[in-house]
Structure 1
């Protein structure tokens, strides 16, 4: 049996692709000796400050508004245990396993940087939980996104203490039982460790990172759906020519236009300017501008995630020279703004996709059969599939309201500005999933239109491959029937598997 690859955490250069492989269980994680040396040096500074009875936030003081309350030396360990128990107040549905795994990986990656003062044995238990698939049950609601994701991360830390609940081998059980079944022992937290575990942005970053990975695939699926719809409607390809897009040189816009021209290469279904009509509707003609702008937002978020995934996000920070400084690295505003931006991008992919679906089913907007029905009147065909897309688009518009513009003071006004970044992250992932359903609907409708007219021999090789991909998951049938299960299935596939393109160059922009 081939040995599983180990990804060596160092807190400096983890990518989205690497995170995804670890989350999926393709790779395990490890910590190299030079990284352990930094972790242990950081811990020594904490031990020194306790021995010297220094006043350090969260180590020899209380938390939040209670930062001015001194803690006796004999109580510093008890302080950390109380912190975890009192902060594990999350509510609502639990995060799915992929989010929990991403959260564990990202928190560990931040701690290995050696600025948090955690002990080796505590950090090792985090690593072991990732590799042995002990997944804390973490409620998804209750974080303000500053001081970090306190409630979600406290539920994670409970399991390390042998408390709370965890999922192991598909069964939810007590944290202590999950550790025992995995051959692990809980830890007794000591000074600074509870704070080191929960003061960070890893819940919002985990959700947002997974949403961004899915958004990349969604964007490619939206481009593929556009290409199929172009053929189904006899769209004009002149609007995608590079000499046109060079005059407004947004790289992502040009990439989308190039991708669509590549997908449509060899098609005998598309048209040129003036052959049938002079211009197409905006949902076809302006798609490079709209899709391209959404890709711009994705790239912005990717840049911010590259920083956040490899950053120190707790407080206080233990510097290599021994100073322990209080600051605000736990504040999620950089990610809150990024995820709110991504929400707009995702919403627009769905908005314009739904408009193209409308053109496919509305007989006043095309020469296709009304609602793509076999016997219009007796059958309703795809009348309601457009309703579903419209409902999802409308739901996205509600979710797209920026979470980051809200702030409610907490901890007796000591923490008087918070990011709501975890809400933004949860919203954007829901919007990605909604939008995948909308794009799946366009793909299904365009495929139906092309098959009804027996257009396969006139299609471009690349779009024919996309059509075959769709029909593998959604078999063609003309009679009225429910497509709910197929829409869900295709949407899930679009988010987990890059839609097949004719050439690897069409993957540009992801």
Structure 2
């Protein structure tokens, strides 16, 4: 499909499709007209009173008047000087999301950039050219100044880019793709660097990841419930109505779906089972996973509002005014990213507690220590749990908010910054850690179910167990464990679990 770019109307799914799926992008006639009208306003302002970013310097140099013959040089100098990032390059999907979203803002027609600038960005996306953007440089102050400047360099035929995994000079990549470098005009240096696009792009990708992780977490929890001979009763719908938290209701319903027709659950759902109730990490899972769902819903609304926003400074208004504003400040996105990191970290925290119960023979309802084949000789999955515990602990550090910090810059002109870039960068690390923690639980739970034979799991959990068994062998003597955990992680990354359930006609919310 082709993503039609007209400014408003871009969705989180559109961002994911372009960033991860490589979908093509096309500017609409409406967007081209809006940009042309805004540009006409800028062109009329070459004389008269000083206009920030058009006839003045930037930031703390906003009081410096720039003569007409130097104003285009000013825009190029801005991009070059602001491309001051350091560190390893950020991921290709982040760069593609950033370029798409900067083109989206330009397409709204409030930035005053010529249509050819947005066309240049779209051409980069469609040609598979991704500017090299270093890890560090953004404070989320005037948005992502350094990352966007590195992205804009490619439009000028400068800097470096990635094409099909190869790093090369931007000028070479443009020539090979049949594209011409762009010469920036007045206001356009600001227009290509002044936004929250990389922050927003990473938040959109994190939202997409979290949606998938939550369904996977519910599904894997159901496997653990069976492995521990735990009860499905706490997940009943009538109990959830007593606490109508939306996310909790969804998570509990997912568990009920996954455990339907489970012979393992039925085997001990009798008066002979003297246990009064399961541990918190089992029966409170809907409360925890559900709270994460509710946090995700809030963060999604923040991202959707930003996707409908014009993020630049100054803004070209429909009545011909050009006004300075603070729309570029990353606080809304930084707060959302920090909130989501706190919530997602708890998905990993409670998963680590569940797998610990499976591996501890004093609490696992008859399973061998560490699910080992030959206890004493074999360590089983003991150290897999260590790995998960290390990542759960790491997430506690990463969940500390970045957005409460601020360091003034630009000669105290930019005296409060959001640090939203750091918030979304660590959010991505939390999500990766949780995916790996869930992969370890997946391996543990599948082995625990194997050890319950001849009792059989539900059709849904059995489908997940069999999907894992296609990549990872079951019980047996100790063997090289890291590749098996990595294989489980990859199944989660590509959502093979969702595909396995879909074959049964099951879709978890």
Calculate the TM-score normalised by the size of structure 2.
Answer: 0.96
Q: Which runs of 5+ in 2 are unaligned?
A: none
- What is the alpha-carbon distance in structure 2 between the residues aligned to residue 428 and residue 474 of structure 1? 29
Whether 1:343 and 2:341 are equivalent positions in the alignment is: yes
How much does 1:498 deviate? 5.9
Decide whether the 8 Å contact of 1:273 with 1:279 is kept in 2.
Answer: no
The equivalent position to 1:40 in structure 2, one of 36, 43, 46, is 36
- What is the alpha-carbon distance in structure 1 between the residues aligned to residue 479 and residue 207 of structure 2? 34
How much does 1:472 deviate? 2.4
How much does 1:90 deviate? 0.7
Q: Pick closer, same or farther for the CA change 1:123–1:261 going to 2, 3 Å.
A: same
How much does 1:258 deviate? 0.9
Q: Tell me the alpha carbon deviations over residues 168-189 of structure 1, each in whole angstroms, 9 at most, x when there is no partner.
A: 1221111111111111010111
Report what 1:117 is aligned to: 112
Task: Could you list the structure 1 runs, at least 4 aligned residues long, displaced by more than 3 angstroms after superposition.
Answer: 271-274, 502-506
- What is the alpha-carbon distance in structure 2 between the residues aligned to residue 499 and residue 295 of structure 1? 19
Report what 1:170 is aligned to: 165
Q: Tell me the alpha carbon deviations over residues 315-372 of structure 1, each in whole angstroms, 9 at most, x when there is no partner.
A: 0000111100101010000000000011011100000000001011011111210000
Q: Tell me the alpha carbon deviations over residues 91-118 of structure 1, each in whole angstroms, 9 at most, x when there is no partner.
A: 1111111111111111111110000011
Report what 1:219 is aligned to: 214
Q: Pick closer, same or farther for the CA change 1:342–1:123 going to 2, 3 Å.
A: same
Whether 1:207 and 2:185 are equivalent positions in the alignment is: no
Q: Return 164-173 or 397-406, whichever deviates more.
A: 164-173
1:187 counterpart SS class: coil
Q: How does 1:118-133 map to 2 (within 5 A)?
A: 118-133=113-128
CA RMSD of aligned residues (A): 1.4
- What is the alpha-carbon distance in structure 2 between the residues aligned to residue 332 and residue 266 of structure 1? 48
Report what 1:139 is aligned to: 134
Report what 1:324 is aligned to: 322
Report what 1:357 is aligned to: 355
Q: Pick closer, same or farther for the CA change 1:265–1:20 going to 2, 3 Å.
A: same
- What is the alpha-carbon distance in structure 2 between the residues aligned to residue 332 and residue 233 of structure 1? 45
Report what 1:463 is aligned to: 461
How much does 1:300 deviate? 1.0
Q: Pick closer, same or farther for the CA change 1:504–1:479 going to 2, 3 Å.
A: same
- What is the alpha-carbon distance in structure 2 between the residues aligned to residue 258 and residue 276 of structure 1? 26
Decide whether the 8 Å contact of 1:14 with 1:309 is kept in 2.
Answer: yes
The alignment covers a number of residue pairs equal to 502
The equivalent position to 1:14 in structure 2, one of 10, 16, 19, is 10
- What is the alpha-carbon distance in structure 2 between the residues aligned to residue 444 and residue 297 of structure 1? 28
Whether 1:254 and 2:249 are equivalent positions in the alignment is: yes
1:93 counterpart SS class: strand
1:466 counterpart SS class: helix
- What is the alpha-carbon distance in structure 1 between the residues aligned to residue 36 and residue 392 of structure 2? 51
Q: How does 1:60-459 map to 2 (within 5 A)?
A: 60-270=55-265, 271-272=268-269, 275-366=273-364, 367-455=366-454, 458-459=456-457
Decide whether the 8 Å contact of 1:161 with 1:187 is kept in 2.
Answer: yes
- What is the alpha-carbon distance in structure 2 between the residues aligned to residue 498 and residue 419 of structure 1? 37
Q: Which runs of 5+ in 1 are unaligned?
A: none
Decide whether the 8 Å contact of 2:97 with 2:201 is kept in 1.
Answer: yes
Decide whether the 8 Å contact of 2:442 with 2:488 is kept in 1.
Answer: no
- What is the alpha-carbon distance in structure 2 between the residues aligned to residue 465 and residue 84 of structure 1? 53
Q: Pick closer, same or farther for the CA change 1:71–1:483 going to 2, 3 Å.
A: same
- What is the alpha-carbon distance in structure 2 between the residues aligned to residue 496 and residue 72 of structure 1? 55
How much does 1:466 deviate? 1.2
Q: Pick closer, same or farther for the CA change 1:242–1:93 going to 2, 3 Å.
A: same
How much does 1:402 deviate? 0.2
Decide whether the 8 Å contact of 1:11 with 1:112 is kept in 2.
Answer: yes
Q: Tell me the alpha carbon deviations over residues 44-66 of structure 1, each in whole angstroms, 9 at most, x when there is no partner.
A: 1111011x333111111111111
Decide whether the 8 Å contact of 2:4 with 2:25 is kept in 1.
Answer: yes
1:62 counterpart SS class: coil
- What is the alpha-carbon distance in structure 2 between the residues aligned to residue 449 and residue 493 of structure 1? 19
- What is the alpha-carbon distance in structure 2 between the residues aligned to residue 112 and residue 443 of structure 1? 45
Q: Tell me the alpha carbon deviations over residues 231-260 of structure 1, each in whole angstroms, 9 at most, x when there is no partner.
A: 001111110111111011011101111110
Q: Tell me the alpha carbon deviations over residues 377-405 of structure 1, each in whole angstroms, 9 at most, x when there is no partner.
A: 11111111111110000000001100000
Q: Pick closer, same or farther for the CA change 1:245–1:8 going to 2, 3 Å.
A: same
Q: Pick closer, same or farther for the CA change 1:273–1:57 going to 2, 3 Å.
A: farther
- What is the alpha-carbon distance in structure 2 between the residues aligned to residue 34 and residue 431 of structure 1? 39
Report what 2:508 is aligned to: 507
Q: How does 1:43-54 map to 2 (within 5 A)?
A: 43-50=39-46, 52-54=47-49
Q: Pick closer, same or farther for the CA change 1:498–1:43 going to 2, 3 Å.
A: farther
1:55 counterpart SS class: coil
Q: Tell me the alpha carbon deviations over residues 409-468 of structure 1, each in whole angstroms, 9 at most, x when there is no partner.
A: 01111111111001000000011000000000001001011113335x621111111111
1:224 counterpart SS class: helix
